[in-house]
Amino acid sequence: MKPDHTFIEDLTPTSTRVEPADIVADPDAASWDDECDVLVVGVGMAGVCAALRAAEDPDLSVIAIDRGPGGGASKLSGGVIYMGGGTKAQREAGVEDAPDNMARYLSFETGDIVSPETVSRFAKASAHFQDWLEKYGARFGGPATDEKTSYPNSHSLYYSGNELTVPGRERATPAPRGHRAKPPEGGEPTKLSGEYLLPPLLASLDRAANAKVLRQARATRLIADANGNVIGVELKQIKPGFASWKHGKAWGLANNIIAATLGLTGKIYGTIIKAEQEHVETKRIRVRKGVVLSAGGFTYNREMMAKTAPDYLKSHPLGTIADDGSGIKLGMSVGAKTDHLDRISAWKFLYQPENWVKSCAIGPDGKRLVGEEYYGARTGEAVFGKAGGRGWMILDEPLQQLVVEEIGSMKKMLFQKIQFRATLKDYTVSAPTLPALAELLDVPASELEATIAEYNGYIERGEPDPLGKSEKYRRKIESGPFYATDIGGSLKVSPIPALTMGGLVVEEETGQVSNTDGAPIGGLYAAGRTAVGICSHYYVSGLSLGDCVFSGMRAAEAIRGNGGSAALI
């Protein structure tokens, strides 16, 4: 299948260009700088799991390369893995769960993007993820909480999705499956838990006798034989010295929220890209068994976003500068099929504080926007997909006071303190009446009044909420003054972060990349956000990292000849 180089080039900034594949007529006669059995491109959660699993076979040699120090977007994340079906942490907390129960719930989130069989295999495999990850130094466990939270501060097992919502409970018995990684034994969680999850896994990979990690190395080209099978990778690695040191320092600053707020990231990216262009050496690595593309998504490639998901351009890119679509484009260079590139997970949580869930969310037309209890990805989709990036929570005076009191009593991390202060001070307005509030928001007063009247009417009549809100979060909004808290996409201190969910199409049992005719591409696999996966329809907290574990291990097992995902059950 002839690759679509025009599309690749059109979406590739010159600083991170992916070159057309190099076709080698006689691999044995070609010049190589190194060789291995398995090569992993990108060492975030999916990549480190693929490399560790492959390295468990002592007869395989593994090379993993990463554009930065390793860890990727996963290290910057909350470090929550969605796993269930009876994990050790669930059992210790007295939580009853089973793989089929978990799969029934996940059918609500996954839609038809992956098959029911794959959802079932994921649910069964996830029951063992904790044990495998802890073998390499990660830590999980309790305590568990029933608190409605977007991210737990003092707990490590929680309801991280829509399990407790009306449609969630209709499908399955609710069980907490969000496993937040714990700090080293004896320590208190003071950071986002990606900082506790990735470092021990990376350290384990560094210690593996049959594996090595090439850092500050960017894959720029796939190498294929005359039959289209992928047999190698060309990369550019920064030479040791001052440029390497400067690149490392800049990489550490590139995702600092303070630097982003001050508008300094452009200069930082410039430093990174300059080192990658001017101080590198090219290496060609021959790969005997399989290349795994696990280089993340493309949320930092705004040109690519403009082509595939323009409604989400006001979202805040969540990840690293390496989430530029290069893994996807490497696959495309050998004819790979892509799908769901328009699927974006943009998160706007209407909790915590939990009392915010009792508000009524509206869009710029004054009509109700989304079920307020749902996980933040559904709210983000509504804000960008239905409301042009605008939206508000409507509260009355008693509810606003409950929110203020709850925020005051919460244990908060620094980023939460900053965001809550900005939300209450800068992103909330009030007026004595609903028409006056509508004027402040520039929304139709008649529509806003009608929306609140309808919202209250269902409660007065004892009728179910039309958007499925649970009874515990329903209360009438009727006592002025009234408040509107902005949940739109243009809030500098409380932005809506987003991940891309689409990517390369893979065979669901093995993770092998498919070409545009649906046939497998020899020697090429994909995992994590470089590929279409479990979380590509609707994301809930931990489902991307859970899919990274599943898809990374799946690719490794397929390369080892153990049947892919079948070996994980």
CATH code for position 460:
3.90.700.10
Single out the residue in 438, 454, 486 at which a domain terminates: 486
Mean predicted confidence (pLDDT) in 561-567: 93
pLDDT, position 12: 52
pLDDT, position 352: 82
Report which of 244, 305, 306, 229 is spatially closest to residue 276, judged by C-alpha positions. 244
In a domain, 405, yes or no: yes
Report the C-alpha gap between 317 and 312 in whole angstroms. 10
Mean predicted confidence (pLDDT) in 414-434: 87
Instruction: Assign 419 a pLDDT band (cuts: 50, 70, 90).
Output: confident
Beta bridge partners of 174: none
In a domain, 66, yes or no: yes
Q: Are residues 445 and 360 in the same domain?
A: yes
pLDDT, position 186: 78
Q: What is the share, in percent, of the chain residues with pLDDT greater than 70?
A: 95
Q: Are residues 519 and 478 in the same domain?
A: no
Single out the residue in 443, 459, 486 at which a domain terminates: 486
This prediction has a pTM of: 0.92
Residue 3: pLDDT over 50: no
Q: Are residues 294 and 334 in the same domain?
A: yes
Q: Are residues 314 and 433 in the same domain?
A: no
Residue 2: pLDDT over 80: no
Residues 467, 368 contacting (CB under 8 angstroms): yes
**Cβ contacts of residue 453 below 8 Å, gap of 6+?**
none
pLDDT tens-place string over residues 303-334: 999 999 999 998 888 888 899 999 999 999 99
In a domain, 366, yes or no: yes
pLDDT tens-place string over residues 206-232: 999 999 999 999 999 999 999 999 999
CA 566 to chain centre: 25
The identity of residue 360, as a single letter, is C
Instruction: Assign 256 a pLDDT band (cuts: 50, 70, 90).
Output: low
**Cβ contacts of residue 110 below 8 Å, gap of 6+?**
119, 534, 535, 537, 538
Q: What is the share, in percent, of the chain residues with pLDDT greater than 90?
A: 79
In a domain, 121, yes or no: no
In total, how many domains does the chain have?
Answer: 2
Report which of 233, 321, 323, 324 is spatially closest to residue 525, judged by C-alpha positions. 233
Report the C-alpha gap between 384 and 327 in whole angstroms. 26
Residue 411: pLDDT over 60: yes
In a domain, 224, yes or no: yes
Q: Are residues 379 and 516 in the same domain?
A: no
Residue 349: pLDDT over 50: yes
Domain that holds residue 24: 5-77+193-239+279-345+497-568
| E strand or H helix that includes residue 472 | none
Q: Are residues 431 and 465 in the same domain?
A: yes
Q: Are residues 445 and 296 in the same domain?
A: no
In a domain, 161, yes or no: no
In a domain, 148, yes or no: no
CATH number at residue 40: 3.50.50.60
The identity of residue 559, as a single letter, is I
Q: Is 40 helix (H, G, I), strand (E, B) or coil?
A: strand
CA distances from residue 89 to 103, 141, 155, 363, 542 in whole angstroms, order as listed = 18, 4, 12, 40, 15
Mean pLDDT value across the chain: 92
| E strand or H helix that includes residue 235 | strand 230-238
Single out the residue in 486, 514, 540 at which a domain terminates: 486
Residue 495: pLDDT over 90: no
In a domain, 400, yes or no: yes
Q: Are residues 404 and 511 in the same domain?
A: no
pLDDT, position 260: 61
Q: Are residues 215 and 318 in the same domain?
A: yes
Residue 174: pLDDT over 70: yes
Q: Are residues 555 and 428 in the same domain?
A: no
Q: Are residues 218 and 326 in the same domain?
A: yes
Report the C-alpha gap between 304 and 503 in whole angstroms. 12
Q: Are residues 532 and 470 in the same domain?
A: no
pLDDT tens-place string over residues 523-548: 999 999 999 999 999 889 999 999 99
